[in-house]
Structure 1
Amino acid sequence: MFSLLAPPALVSVVNVWQVFLTTDRVGQSVILLLAVFSIIAWAVMLGKRSELQKLRELNLRFERLLAQEKHVLSLPENMRNRRDIPYADLLADALEAYWRAAAIGKEKGEDTLRGRLEHAENAIQRALARQSLRYEASMIFLASVVSGAPFMGLFGTVWGVMEAFVAVSVMQTASIQTLAPGVSAALLTTIAGLVVAIPSVFGYNYLLGNVKTMITELENYASSLADRIELEAKLD
């Protein structure tokens, strides 16, 4: 009577919970571990999406401000020391290396424009690599969840099926009624693995596309910044 009156979704949830309770400790441990990974993966995906959006907005805003400046080499400190902005970080490292090379060159009497520009370009490349790693942070964890969750679910399924057949082997007679509960409990771990992996793979691919786009934008900005520093240095 209850199954006729209760909503299908509620019956489904109750059945899944009952199947979970019939799963052995290994299967329950796998399912609980996958649940933890799912929560962490969702937190990482949402946090990474918010972080990338914020960094892109800061980069675009800084690029607009920089375009209004006539001389990059003589920027005020409040624009040169914004390390929280990737574009500003590249600029700060480039200017710091440029003027440090100039100061050391003057002390030794070997100050050359080529030396300044080489130091500035090297600093830009180091900052570019550092910010690229910043963009890619947490992506390895998501990739591990995407590839590892199905295998964890498969492990739980194989273990559960093995336990079900072992339990049937000690009985006098075996039937589908005796085998079905163990097999259904084993398959629950596969479902849990897919529930974790499927949203994670879509989220990973979406974030990976954004990361690649932003790294390309960062590389273009780095090239443009190096050209601008070189042009201004030659004009001074």
Structure 2
Amino acid sequence: MTVPVYSFLAAANASSNTMELVYIWQKATPEAKIIIIFLVIFSIVAWSTMISKALQMRRAKRLNTFFNSEFRNQKNVLGMYDRRLEVEGCPLFAVYQAGSIELDTRLKRGVAGEGRKSNLSIKAVEHVKRSLENTVAQQSLKLESGLILLAIAVSGAPFLGLLGTVWGVMSTFGGIAREGSASLAAMAPGVSAALITTVAGLLVAIPSMFGYNWLVHNLRVLTVELDNFAQELISKIETEYLEE
């Protein structure tokens, strides 16, 4: 008999909580309802951003691992470029591709046919280096895009909730002042309805804060990988092609 009784009590408690939320929603002011609806939309946007960015960074890490294994096995810098290997959506590949295109252009400059020069000047290597740096910056911005929405949710949602609470409490006390009587029964519904906006704001901000911090950490890791790879690539280019 213990399990059925426990299940009945749990169901009754859940039903009671649902009825409380419905009652509080009914007692909320139109301004509070507008703020709550806005926060719900904001929450959907924040969760969509967190999920999409998490999938994007997870895919980038997986592709970076695959690209690294291929890059380590090539005999020369342009080996993968000459094989026309494509790794769509891989940040490291985008950096490598940009550097290889610039390097190939410099090596073919002034050479007839499809041949390449065996050496490059320091100036030419600097052009390749700048191309790599630009691509690293572009890839970092691409990975970072969308995080501003989470930052806004973290900082803005609690203030919107607080605005709804203050507005609701002000409206409640204004109504009590007009009626000329103050009692717990008169104040409690309005105050509880006002506080629900703060709860809604925190429910948006707290998951967004954890998600934002986790994504920023992964973004830093990927950015460092991009910088390190660019440095490694330019070092190999200098070793292989720079004139002594």
Q: What residue in structure 1 maps to residue 141 of structure 2?
A: 133
Q: 1:72 to 1:5 in 2, by over 3 A?
A: closer
Q: Which residue of 1 aligns with 2:3?
A: none
Indicate which of 65, 74, 82 corresponds to 1:76. Answer: 82
Which position in structure 2 is the counterpart of 1:17?
22
**What is the letter of the counterpart of residue 150 of structure 2?**
L
Q: 1:101 to 1:21 in 2, by over 3 A?
A: same
Listed as ranges, the gaps of 5+ residues in structure 2 are 1-7, 113-118
- Deviation, 1:73, is 2.7
Q: Which amino acid aligns with 2:125?
A: L
Deviations 1:74-121 (A, max 9, x none): 532522x545321111111112222323444669xxx95212211110
Picking from 35, 39, 58, the partner of 2:63 is 58
Q: Secondary structure at the match of 1:174?
A: coil
Distance (whole Å) between structure 2 residues aligned to residue 105 and residue 156 of structure 1: 69
* Percent of paired sites with the same residue: 35
CA offset digits 1:155-184 (Å, max 9, x no partner): 000110110011001113221111111111
* TM-score normalised by L of structure 2: 0.87
Asked if structure 2 preserves the Cα contact closer than 8 Å seen for 1:73 and 1:232, the reply is no
Instruction: Give the direction of change, closer, same or farther, for the CA distance of 1:132–1:120 in structure 2 (3 Å limit).
Output: same
Asked whether the equivalents of residues 73 and 229 of structure 1 are also in contact (C-alpha less than 8 Å), the reply is no
Please tell me the residue identity of whatever aligns with 1:118: E
Structure-2 residue corresponding to 1:8:
13
Q: Is the 8 A contact 1:105 1:112 kept in 2?
A: no
Q: TM-score, normalized by length of structure 1? A: 0.90
2-structure distance, mates of 1:27, 1:105: 71
Describe the shift of the 1:235–1:10 C-alpha distance in structure 2 as closer, same or farther (beyond 3 A).
farther
* CA–CA distance in structure 2, aligned partners of residues 45 and 114 of structure 1: 44
Q: Select which of 86, 93, 99 maps to 1:94.
A: 99
Are 1:230 and 2:238 counterparts?
A: yes
Gaps of 5+ in 1: none
SS of equivalent to 1:19: helix
Give a deviation string over 1:111-143, Cα, whole Å, max 9, x none.
952122111100000000000101111111101
CA distance in 1, matches of 2:121, 2:100: 13
1:4 CA displacement: 7.6
The residue aligned with 1:179 is 187
For 2:135 and 2:94, how far apart are their aligned partners in 1? 7
Over aligned residue pairs, what C-alpha RMSD do you find?
A: 2.2
Letter paired with 2:20: N
**Equivalent position of 1:202 in the other structure:** 210
